[in-house]
Amino acid sequence: MVGFKKILFVFTLSLCAGAVFGQVDTGSQNVTNSPYTRYGYGELSDNAFGKSKAMGGLAYGIRDRYQLNPANPASYTAMDSLTFLFEGGFTLQNTNFSDGINKTNAKNSSFDYVAMQFRLKKWMAINAGFIPYSNVGYSISKSDVDHENTDAYNVSSFQGDGGLKQLYLGVGVNVLKNLAIGANFSYFWGDIDRSMSLYFPATSASTNTESEEISISDFKIDLGAQYTYNISDKRQVVLGAVYSPKRSLNNTTTLRSEVWTNQVGRLVAEVDSTATFETPHKLGLGFTYMYDNRLTVGLDYTLEKWGSVTYFDNPNAFRDRSKVVIGAEYRPSHYSRNYLAHVRYRMGGYYSTPYYKINGQNAATEYGVSIGFGLPLPKVASLLNLSAQYVRVNGKKSSFLDENYLKVSIGLTFNERWFFKRKVN
């Protein structure tokens, strides 16, 4: 327990340092600067913890007794009955934005997740934690000049921040020898603020600002299942599936219009109301092959029916989101005394179609590749998870932005044997 407390203290300081880094470097608490977060709920966060991040996001068919995997709650039952697991992680990222002519960079950091897991019975395990659902953060400005009519000269700016979060409690149950099911029950909440300002310096220096403030709080459920087929003593296949039902979200919205002029000062119109906000049906299927608990390779497919979702009373705001992931992990040996033989070597990649649209058109495609390591800590069964990921977002039109991300993720999984009786001779 002493070793666990020391590691926990050091890792807590690391998480705080990551949060400070993000605020100092960006001048705000935003964890993204993507202009694409102007649309919908912003940039969606997949429920990938340290191991999955390094494998491209592979998760649905992963069963690992030493790692947490909330992307499929059925995986909770894979853990050892004497073990308590605790995991947390954060990400540092550098982003390059380009419109084909201009380029700019931004640096951000984000606290990604924290969770714990333990068994209640031999056939039941509990997981509880905090994970983000989406992030919004952007600041854009442009100037429009009409050389024939200088009064038409204006400067427009668009700003947004916020996001949605999840606090969840999950349970996994073995219903048959090779079949497990599970569910995550989440409290889902957050605020998204957006504004658009138009400044006319040639006409009394007037400024018109339109803003929207969205506050959401509701509950949601995510379901999962895993079936394990043992090919031989050392070979097995796991089939995984997840499902999240469509939901309408409780919300309050505030629409505000402000006009500033030198002649009349400030005029404000404000309306509080509710609107229709929904999250989609989500279906995910996964397949993993494992050999001797040393090699894991797998494939995941996800379909989210955003095209049938209503957002801010608009039933045609989005398109369906799909994602294909492939990933692998290799551990050279269980028994060697060489430290490098016990390191988990990981890699993966994915391709997806984002859910947002711009002016009714599909906005972008996205792909990413990742590598990483699971580093065993001396004298304990815990792991330090490191990964690096490159992500490319391609705008579908020349007028849409391209984005390049380099992300470095750091996570720590504490594995403590708490639930056994010590014998003293």
pLDDT for residue 423 = 54
User: 87: exposed, middle or buried (C-beta count within 10 Å: 0-12, 13-18, 19+)?
Assistant: buried
Torsion, CA 386, CA 371, CA 34, CA 108, rounded to 10: 20
Q: What share of the chain is helix, strand, coil (3-state, %, to 5)?
A: 10, 60, 30
- Pick the closest to residue 174 from 72, 86, 75, 242 (CA basis): 75
Element (H, E) at 23: helix 2-26
Q: 69 in helix, strand or coil?
A: coil
Residue 74 and residue 67: Cα distance in Å, rounded? 13
pLDDT digits (tens, 9 = 90+) for 135-192: 999 988 776 655 455 555 566 789 999 999 999 999 999 999 899 999 999 999 999 9
Residue 16 vs residue 254, higher pLDDT? 254
Task: Say how many residues make up the chain.
Answer: 425
Does 73 reside within a domain? yes
Does 313 reside within a domain? yes
Percent of the chain whose predicted confidence (pLDDT) is above 90: 67
In this structure, what DSSP letter does residue 356 have? B
- The residue ranges of DSSP E strands in 231-276, in sequence order, are 235-244, 247-248, 251-261, 265-273
Into how many domains does the chain fold? Answer: 1
Residue 53 vs residue 20, higher pLDDT? 53
User: How many other CB atoms are there within 10 angstroms of residue 169's CB atom?
Assistant: 14
Residue 247 and residue 282: Cα distance in Å, rounded? 11
Residue 124 has φ and ψ, to the nearest 5°, of: -140, 135
pLDDT for residue 146 = 54
* Residue 386 clears pLDDT 70, i.e. is over it: yes
Residue 327 and residue 346: Cα distance in Å, rounded? 8
* Residue 310 clears pLDDT 80, i.e. is over it: yes
CATH code of the domain containing 258: 2.40.160.60
The answer to whether the CB of 236 falls within 8 A of the CB of 230 is yes
Q: In whole numbers, what is the pLDDT of the chain averaged over residues?
A: 87
Host domain of residue 384: 2-417
Evaluate the CA torsion angle 312, 318, 322, 327 in order and state its sign: negative
Per-range mean pLDDT, top range of 72-76, 89-93, 413-417: 72-76
Average of per-residue pLDDT across 316-336: 96
Q: 319 in helix, strand or coil?
A: coil
Spatial neighbors of 29 by CB under 8 A, at least 6 apart, are 22, 23, 161
The region of weakest confidence among 27-36, 215-224, 243-252, 354-363 is 27-36
Spatial neighbors of 202 by CB under 8 A, at least 6 apart, are 150, 151, 153
Q: Assign residue 334 a region (left: φ > 0; alpha: ψ between -120 and 50; beta: otherwise).
A: alpha
Does 32 reside within a domain? yes
pLDDT for residue 14 = 46
Does 280 reside within a domain? yes
C-alpha distances (whole Å) from 112 to each of 91, 213, 224, 325 are: 7, 24, 22, 20
Residue 61 and residue 58: Cα distance in Å, rounded? 8
In one-letter notation, the amino acid at residue 35 is: P
* Residue 23 clears pLDDT 50, i.e. is over it: no
Does 423 reside within a domain? no
Average of per-residue pLDDT across 3-21: 48
Does 289 reside within a domain? yes
pLDDT for residue 85 = 92
Does 76 reside within a domain? yes
Does 425 reside within a domain? no
Supply 125's token pair: 């395990």
pLDDT for residue 202 = 61
Supply 45's token pair: 């966060």
Whole-model pTM above 0.85? yes
Residue 245 and residue 17: Cα distance in Å, rounded? 37
pLDDT digits (tens, 9 = 90+) for 217-237: 999 999 999 999 999 999 999
pLDDT for residue 267 = 66
Residue 291 vs residue 197, higher pLDDT? 291
pLDDT for residue 295 = 97
Spatial neighbors of 277 by CB under 8 A, at least 6 apart, are 214, 216, 248, 249, 251, 310, 311, 312
Evaluate the CA torsion angle 314, 316, 320, 321 in order and state its sign: negative
Secondary structure of 92-147 as H, E, C letters: EEEEEEECCCCEEEEEEEEEEEEEEEEEEECCEEEEEEEEEEEEEEEEEEEEECCC
Q: Tokens 């007028």, residue?
A: 399
